[in-house]
Structure 1
């Protein structure tokens, strides 16, 4: 009998946006896979250390090293490299060596991803679409990375061209709203009001919204109403507009 709540589907992963800003991440290896990992974690503002003999670096990783975008150790991995590390990513062709690194990480309780060995991964990398602050990840739980890439491209192609800019403007409005209504008990009302704004304004309107528009729109927060952009630009403060609101 089907219940009133979502059915449990085991075998998945918990998809999270992992904040690694200023965390120390060790990348073992310097080939193509390592290059992709390095880009992802540098984009997340992590501190990256690469361990690999110079001869094993591809052009992209060598560029990151030469530009001082990463710290670099020119040799093979040693257990002492795990000291002070928050996360480990291995991208080498030696499965036995990768397994040993994973076991050391388990002992030290350091989350690790062993490329091409799903059973020895505490987390997986998905295929990611990035548009400013917007990030969309597609994961196949290690079953088909290439397929994840194909699905990600199809999703990205279906998105409005200005979605990233709209997200950016909404984020700015949210930060301003928190200054207007900073108390914790205002949380539910803030969320409900922001939801109305996102649902009732088009993406083009959200992109077009200026800081002046935001300040005027915030005047409608107290009565909990969301007028149109046109109404906001009429300059009616503090919900004084007496025409029809979009509720």
Structure 2
């Protein structure tokens, strides 16, 4: 019986996609590491506040401040930066001061605010991995704080293996799902399961390149097959949508050897 189930492998971390959009995040520091953290947060649509004396800002962070992509507080960290009224959802520190970093971590622990203290794994509630980004596609490789540079090398190898245009294909799948929900808006369990099952068949039966080639007319034609639970081929969908477009063309011939549409 035990052999039928996966074996537990302790020592890992729970890798999740943290939805930090429109939430307040505090970054302490303004150097190269902080710049990387800030970019990751902005890509996730977080509201970022940077606490750091102006002299400690590198060129990239200074640019973010000048473009008002982040809010800058020109001083060192103070406990008031994480008081409950600030609604801080996450704190990241990237400063060359281990004593100050530990002090900030203790403040966060007391207030139950998740924190990441750069380069100090025991004082991290979560880790940053090496991320490959292609539109909606994000792939993270984590070594649980053991080897960041190795994680980056593995991430590059994975990215090189992916077909070109993978992110665009995934974006088209997301658009197709939204069109399907609009056409079949039921919220019952049966409706949701039917949509999920049909979308799974589309993703299993179609090549990623074909999904990336879909346009609005193709999607409308494909979604029209949902009620019959059928999943036609990409070639059939492209042919049907082309025939519909051709049928809607008005031909205007003036008798000359040439003609115009």
TM-score, normalization by structure 1: 0.93
Alignment match, 2:224 = 219
Alignment match, 2:137 = 134
Q: CA deviation at 1:6?
A: 1.5
Alignment match, 1:111 = 114
Matched position secondary structure for 2:226: coil
In 2: Cα distance, 1:198 partner to 1:45 partner: 28
Residue 218 (structure 2) pairs with residue 196 (structure 1) = no
Q: CA deviation at 1:182?
A: 2.0
Q: CA deviation at 1:2?
A: 4.5
Alignment match, 2:19 = 19
Among 178, 182, 185, the residue aligned to 2:181: 178
Alignment match, 1:244 = none
In 1: Cα distance, 2:194 partner to 2:10 partner: 35
Structure with max Cα Rg: 2
In 1: Cα distance, 2:121 partner to 2:181 partner: 42
Deviations 1:48-86 (A, max 9, x none): 000011111111111111111110011110000113111
Q: How many corresponding residue pairs?
A: 236
In 2: Cα distance, 1:34 partner to 1:230 partner: 49
Q: CA deviation at 1:180?
A: 2.1
Matched position secondary structure for 1:89: strand
Q: Alignment RMSD, CA only?
A: 1.2
Q: Which stretches in structure 1 are left out of the alignment for 5+ residues?
A: 237-247
In 2: Cα distance, 1:233 partner to 1:37 partner: 43
In 1: Cα distance, 2:196 partner to 2:10 partner: 31
Matched position secondary structure for 2:140: strand
In 1: Cα distance, 2:182 partner to 2:6 partner: 37
In 2: Cα distance, 1:235 partner to 1:160 partner: 27
Residue 154 (structure 2) pairs with residue 151 (structure 1) = yes
In 1: Cα distance, 2:8 partner to 2:77 partner: 41
Q: CA deviation at 1:3?
A: 2.2
User: Which deviates further from its counterpart, 54-63 or 158-167?
Assistant: 54-63
Alignment match, 1:7 = 7
TM-score, normalization by structure 2: 0.88
